[in-house]
Amino acid sequence: MQSGRIENGFRLTKVGVTSVIKPVQVARPNKVVTLTATFDVFVDLPWDRRGAHLSRNLEAITEIVDETVRNPVYSLEDLAAKICVKLIEKHEYATHGEVWARADYFLEKVTPMGRKGLEAFKLVARANARRAGRIEVRKSIGVEVVGMTACPCAMETIREDNPVYASLKGVPIITHNQRNRTSLVLEEPDGHDIEADDLIEIVEASMSAPTYEVLKRPDEGRLVERAHARPRFVEDVVREVLGRVLDAHKDLPDDVVVKVKSESEESIHKHNAVAERVATLGELRER
Amino acid sequence: MQSGRIENGFRLTKVGVTSVIKPVQVARPNKVVTLTATFDVFVDLPWDRRGAHLSRNLEAITEIVDETVRNPVYSLEDLAAKICVKLIEKHEYATHGEVWARADYFLEKVTPMGRKGLEAFKLVARANARRAGRIEVRKSIGVEVVGMTACPCAMETIREDNPVYASLKGVPIITHNQRNRTSLVLEEPDGHDIEADDLIEIVEASMSAPTYEVLKRPDEGRLVERAHARPRFVEDVVREVLGRVLDAHKDLPDDVVVKVKSESEESIHKHNAVAERVATLGELRER
Amino acid sequence: MQSGRIENGFRLTKVGVTSVIKPVQVARPNKVVTLTATFDVFVDLPWDRRGAHLSRNLEAITEIVDETVRNPVYSLEDLAAKICVKLIEKHEYATHGEVWARADYFLEKVTPMGRKGLEAFKLVARANARRAGRIEVRKSIGVEVVGMTACPCAMETIREDNPVYASLKGVPIITHNQRNRTSLVLEEPDGHDIEADDLIEIVEASMSAPTYEVLKRPDEGRLVERAHARPRFVEDVVREVLGRVLDAHKDLPDDVVVKVKSESEESIHKHNAVAERVATLGELRER
Amino acid sequence: MQSGRIENGFRLTKVGVTSVIKPVQVARPNKVVTLTATFDVFVDLPWDRRGAHLSRNLEAITEIVDETVRNPVYSLEDLAAKICVKLIEKHEYATHGEVWARADYFLEKVTPMGRKGLEAFKLVARANARRAGRIEVRKSIGVEVVGMTACPCAMETIREDNPVYASLKGVPIITHNQRNRTSLVLEEPDGHDIEADDLIEIVEASMSAPTYEVLKRPDEGRLVERAHARPRFVEDVVREVLGRVLDAHKDLPDDVVVKVKSESEESIHKHNAVAERVATLGELRER
């Protein structure tokens, strides 16, 4: 029935399924990790075809995920790219495919006092395929990191207005600080290897401070001092991330797209503060 | 501190605040309704300026919302547009402004058996302003409607495979049906009036059936019959909405952008089915 | 069909509907406010009856809400109580009814520097009815307030460990602070009037500081100073709320149940900190 | 500072942390599976102690989860129980501990036409510990299953009202059907082994039909037929689950608590229908 031809139909940009949950295995340098990934997958649909065979989307996901048990993939974006190619192969009428994969991800981190522990992050991988003679695929890998920002503006206001703190030149004083979520998504051209762990590193280094699960008292003290020594607006966080991406990826071509978004759950407000930049590396390099 | 000049900064596409909740008043033909609206507002930030004054965003929202008590606005998109202009005026360094406003909205509807009642919908308004000599504003109004789809494919499969139903030619038989969410967002050029109530009407008419809060037994029976007499894929729903938008808005110019998305919470799957089209009316008219 | 008798059935504790959204009108001292309320309503079902007539739940909500247009109710909990009585009347087989109503709510507040503005809060009302000869109803009113906590422990650790701050005796120094959500729910016996506005006041006074939408620089400075002058664990917040409830409601009987929960979205962690107490006023008074 | 003594404090029922995410390993009959678990953990706090050492909660989770790498646990509820005992040991002032662990979980299932595939479910484990001389622990294991319900009432109404269907005696006809979420939580006393996989089986068998990720056309047809041959109210689903739990667990003692909740995302309404029962097995057996 889906393959029935219709007249006066409109082309559809995306037809697919969302919120498909699957355990997947990804090979890391020293081990294989199991992630619980959530997939959204789409193809386009020409104007004269009534429907897309949605079950093929599920088959594409399942076949590729099953194959990874024998031939592990090395990243979530490689997995998304393989599914995207399979989508185009299975939907012979489609010219575009799109795959999103999201998962919780864990990395060992070290607190200021040297304590090791696993911290939780989010990965988001995307692949877009285009049938143009052969199938061309573009893929991206992104991370979402929860950290901390301390406000530089309130710190200065208090220093100026309150004589108690006025004498403390060069010493960080009280300000509002809060939970911050910053995401960085970077296109990964063929032949270039972008490591999610490095993106997490870039984001954590650009906040006032990272956050940790287990903090004993001295660790807590050092972390708060560190955050107050590096007060940051969301605007500052986004720009630091952009600068670090340029420095770390001089080899990436100019047409690579990067997106950075930083959101602070303001402790002094009920609403959030946000800053964002979407650009090609070429645009950023022209600065 | 935000107005401090920096070197080697990057331009930021969006800086602003999200999740600001406000009661607003909108004038309707015969009455004034109070909506609980949630706002996200942003401006851009030039490369050489450290920060945007975020409090000005809240002032812009508050001043315009307060003004509506004396001078009512006639739609949520008009309210968003006024806030967007005020944003650009207050952030003298910004060249772009963006405002989103979302709210629950209620309309009286009539069930198949003629019972009247209030049904709940969602409104989403958007305004984008650009400083180019004078301030230019574009605005959109969108609706999200919860209704029902019945699957045409399973109905046919069962008719073909199961002799019990094979003889029932022309009679709708069993199939899976489910809750469906369809959104329609349309740009509203100056001088054109697009009424959210009409967009809701278009979407409801394009589903297998609308849904209702209070259904006594005969109403429930008629509604189920109606849905099964009009089985629809998500692809069908999107295309019907697009067709009805073209018919109803022949006067709108070709560069008006329309976005339609339909998502069915499939009763036979744990995942959802989705179809989407984003296009200008010009592209759709070329069909 | 629902009224069909079954054998060997089990009694059901709750049968009903959730997520019914309605605009409601509540009379306040000087005006009538419109709230967008979300209702969950339930009755119990005896073992020998197959189903509850769910449409009666919607009729109960609709009839009472419509009636408020002519005869305004004075609180969300009064509205919930009326719906709950109507539920029991309509479901002649039920012995228990339960109604929850939730809504965003707005109050004018004044910042440290004297600026007035509307702040957003959440209301949650509950009513339970029991058929025992006549219908007995108990109702509760609750509020959820977003404010700020500053950590007393990190402040002391830093004072002890860091010589730069050691000399600042009596002066608040840097610590982590964050967005905090505290809820207070109190039973309201017949003949007693509990005002949601007062509960909000109690909760705001028990945090390190309230939060505000619009804060110009001096306001922001004073608010941060205020929060650091009153560092609070979530444990402290819950206990302060309990103490203030006892002080403000000496006339309430001992069997009134109170529930307080405070959750801090820790700026130095990815997880939240929570404290909670559920008790009768009698238990608290025995302290 | 937390251990500081206070006067006139109130005892706190729960103090702890929420939303701690960890990868955990659980041994199953033939393999070890990795789950991404989310933990909420609490202890009580006596009236005269200012605060609980929250970092000890994270240490308790981390130490037990790390230990499972060497000594695997056999269920999520065993993991929760071990963490709960560790909590009580670490918080020497606490008399009660509570641990919740939630995770996505996957099981191989077979479609009506015999196709094998992984389906997603949710697990929720809970443990409560009480210090009373030695430490006593009670634990529960629960599952949440997404399946399908078809409404028996609309089917009968249409059969009665519509002559087209009146002749189809004994043949299932059209009705509304929808996605349904049913959860079953059962206490697991020491010495009794309750297998989450069996609870999932019980719930799936009690719905109109289970749901599957990949359904080719004949599978889809058979599944829809199956659901329409077994129309179920949410009330029916809860009672069937209760009956099956009693049958399958004749050996469990009378004081074991069971909770069943079934929620249908009604395709003909914008709101959901819900039924629930909380009871001891003893109460259910008295039926």
C-beta of residue B24 within 8 angstroms of C-beta of residue B35 = yes
Does B8 have pLDDT greater than 80?
Answer: no
What pLDDT score was predicted for residue D188? Answer: 97
Q: What are the angstrom distances between the C-alpha of A65 and each of A39, A48, A142?
A: 11, 32, 20
ipTM: 0.95
Of D161, D174, D179, the CB nearest to B267: D179
Pairwise CB contact (< 8 Å): A218 & C161: yes
What pLDDT score was predicted for residue B108? Answer: 95
Coil, strand or helix at B138: strand
What pLDDT score was predicted for residue A2? Answer: 78
Of C171, C178, C271, the CB nearest to A267: C178
Of A31, A212, A3, A16, residue with least CA distance to A99: A16
Are D278 and D153 in a shared domain? yes
D104 touches chain A (CB under 8 A): yes
Are D284 and D145 in a shared domain? yes
Structure-token match 């200065």, residue found: A156
Are A150 and A271 in a shared domain? yes
A278 touches chain D (CB under 8 A): no
Are A179 and A238 in a shared domain? yes
Q: Is the pTM of this model over 0.90?
A: yes
Query: What is the pLDDT confidence band of residue C55, given thresholds at 50, 70 and 90?
Result: very high
A115 touches chain B (CB under 8 A): no
Query: What is the pLDDT confidence band of residue D169, given thresholds at 50, 70 and 90?
Result: confident
A154 touches chain B (CB under 8 A): no
Q: What are the tens digits of pLDDT across the range B107-139?
A: 999 999 999 999 999 999 999 999 988 999 999
Pairwise CB contact (< 8 Å): A178 & C179: yes
Q: Choose from A155, A219, A268 for mutation: most chain C CBs within 10 A.
A: A268
Q: D124 in a domain, yes or no?
A: yes
Question: How close is the nearest chain D Cα to the Cα of A41, in Å?
Answer: 14
What pLDDT score was predicted for residue B153? Answer: 97
B132 touches chain C (CB under 8 A): no
Are B91 and B183 in a shared domain? no
Q: A224 in a domain, yes or no?
A: yes
Q: A27 in a domain, yes or no?
A: yes
C-beta of residue B13 within 8 angstroms of C-beta of residue A276 = yes
How close are the terminal C-alpha atoms of chain C, in Å? 54
Angle at the Cα of D259 from the Cα atoms of D253 and D265, rounded to 5 degrees:
155
Structure tokens at A188: 């990964």
% of chain D beyond a pLDDT of 90: 91
Q: What is the mean pLDDT of residues C7-35?
A: 92
Query: Which residues are bridge partners to C32 per DSSP?
Result: C27
Does D31 have pLDDT greater than 90?
Answer: no
Cβ-based neighbour number of residue D46 at 10 Å:
13
Q: What are the tens digits of pLDDT across the range B55-74?
A: 999 999 999 999 988 888 99
**Count of domains for chain A:** 2
Are C127 and C145 in a shared domain? no
Are C30 and C53 in a shared domain? yes
Query: What is the pLDDT confidence band of residue D12, given thresholds at 50, 70 and 90?
Result: very high
Scanning every residue of chain C, which has its alpha carbon at the shortest distance from the alpha carbon of A213? C269
Q: Is D49 left (phi over 0), alpha (psi -120 to 50) or beta?
A: beta
Question: How close is the nearest chain A Cα to the Cα of B96, in Å?
Answer: 13
What pLDDT score was predicted for residue A142? Answer: 98
Give chain D's count of helices (H) and strands (E).
8, 9
Pairwise CB contact (< 8 Å): A50 & B13: no
C-beta of residue C177 within 8 angstroms of C-beta of residue C208 = yes
C-beta of residue A186 within 8 angstroms of C-beta of residue A143 = no
Of D34, D59, D117, the CB nearest to A62: D117
Q: A61 in a domain, yes or no?
A: yes
Scanning every residue of chain C, which has its alpha carbon at the shortest distance from the alpha carbon of D39? C271
Structure tokens at A131: 């049938």
Q: What are the tens digits of pLDDT across the range B175-221?
A: 999 999 999 999 999 999 999 999 999 999 999 999 999 999 999 99
Q: B138 in a domain, yes or no?
A: no
Pairwise CB contact (< 8 Å): B16 & A242: no
Residue B53, exposed/middle/buried by CB under 10 A (0-12, 13-18, 19+)? middle
Per-residue pLDDT of chain A (287 residues; tens, 9 = 90+): 777 878 779 999 999 999 999 999 999 878 899 999 999 999 999 999 999 999 999 999 999 999 988 888 999 999 999 999 999 999 999 999 999 999 999 999 999 999 999 999 999 999 999 998 899 999 999 999 999 999 999 999 999 999 999 888 889 999 999 999 999 999 999 999 999 999 999 999 999 999 999 999 999 999 999 999 999 999 999 999 999 999 999 999 999 999 999 999 999 999 999 999 999 999 999 96
> What average pLDDT does the structure give for chain D?
96
For residue A174, the chain C residues in CB contact (below 8 A) are 172-175, 224-225, 228
The whole-angstrom separation of Cα D183 and Cα A156 is: 53
C-alpha dihedral over A262, A267, A271, A273, to 10 degrees? Answer: -30
% of chain B beyond a pLDDT of 90: 91
What pLDDT score was predicted for residue B5? Answer: 78
Are C31 and C155 in a shared domain? no
Of D99, D128, D157, the last residue of a domain is: D128
B32 touches chain C (CB under 8 A): no
Pairwise CB contact (< 8 Å): C272 & D19: yes
**Phi and psi torsions of C98, nearest 5°:** -145, 135
Pairwise CB contact (< 8 Å): C214 & B59: yes
Hey, which bits of chain C come out as E strands? Answer: 12-28, 31-45, 96-110, 116-132, 134-150, 177-187, 209-210, 257-264, 272-280
Of C185, C188, C209, C212, residue with least CA distance to C199: C185
D204 touches chain B (CB under 8 A): no
Are B107 and B188 in a shared domain? no
Angle at the Cα of B114 from the Cα atoms of B110 and B116, rounded to 5 degrees:
45
Interface contacts (A, B; CB < 8 Å): 138
Of D60, D95, D128, the last residue of a domain is: D128
Are C86 and C219 in a shared domain? no
Are B123 and B207 in a shared domain? no
Amino acid making up residue D187: E
Of A9, A273, A277, the CB nearest to B12: A277
Q: What are the angstrom distances between the C-alpha of A191 and each of B8, B273, C202?
A: 30, 34, 61
Give chains near A: 3+ CB pairs under 8 A.
B, C, D
Q: What are the tens digits of pLDDT across the range D74-132?
A: 999 999 999 999 999 999 999 999 999 999 999 999 999 999 999 999 999 999 999 98
Mention every residue, 6+ apart, whose C-beta is less than 8 A from residue C29. Answer: none
> What average pLDDT does the structure give for chain B?
96
Show the 3-state SS of A89-156: HHCCCCCEEEEEEEEEEEEEEECCCCCEEEEEEEEEEEEEEEEECEEEEEEEEEEEEEEEEECHHHHH
Cβ-based neighbour number of residue C252 at 10 Å:
18
Q: A31 in a domain, yes or no?
A: yes
Of D253, D101, D260, residue with least CA distance to D189: D253
Domain harbouring C188, CATH code: 3.10.270.10
Element of type H or E holding D80: helix D76-90
Q: What are the angstrom distances between the C-alpha of B152 and each of A31, B174, B210, B230, C36?
A: 47, 10, 17, 8, 37
Q: A86 in a domain, yes or no?
A: yes
B62 touches chain D (CB under 8 A): no
Pairwise CB contact (< 8 Å): B10 & A233: no
Does B21 have pLDDT greater than 90?
Answer: yes
Are A119 and A234 in a shared domain? no
What pLDDT score was predicted for residue B192? Answer: 95
Q: Choose from A38, A44, A54, A155 for mutation: most chain B CBs within 10 A.
A: A54
The whole-angstrom separation of Cα B274 and Cα B264 is: 7
Angle at the Cα of A238 from the Cα atoms of A237 and A239, rounded to 5 degrees:
95
Does D287 have pLDDT greater than 80?
Answer: no
C144 touches chain A (CB under 8 A): no
Mention every residue, 6+ apart, whose C-beta is less than 8 A from residue A114. Answer: none
B135 touches chain A (CB under 8 A): no
Q: Choose from B54, B99, B233, B285 for mutation: most chain A CBs within 10 A.
A: B54
The whole-angstrom separation of Cα B212 and Cα B206 is: 16
Give chains near C: 3+ CB pairs under 8 A.
A, B, D
Which domain range does residue C119 map to? 1-132
Query: What is the pLDDT confidence band of residue C167, given thresholds at 50, 70 and 90?
Result: confident
D216 touches chain B (CB under 8 A): no
> What average pLDDT does the structure give for chain C?
96
Query: What is the pLDDT confidence band of residue C270, given thresholds at 50, 70 and 90?
Result: very high
Of B111, B132, B153, the last residue of a domain is: B132
C214 touches chain B (CB under 8 A): yes
Element of type H or E holding D282: helix D281-285
Buried b (16+ CB within 10 A) or exposed e, D65-95: beebeeeebebbbbbbbbbbbbbbebbeebb
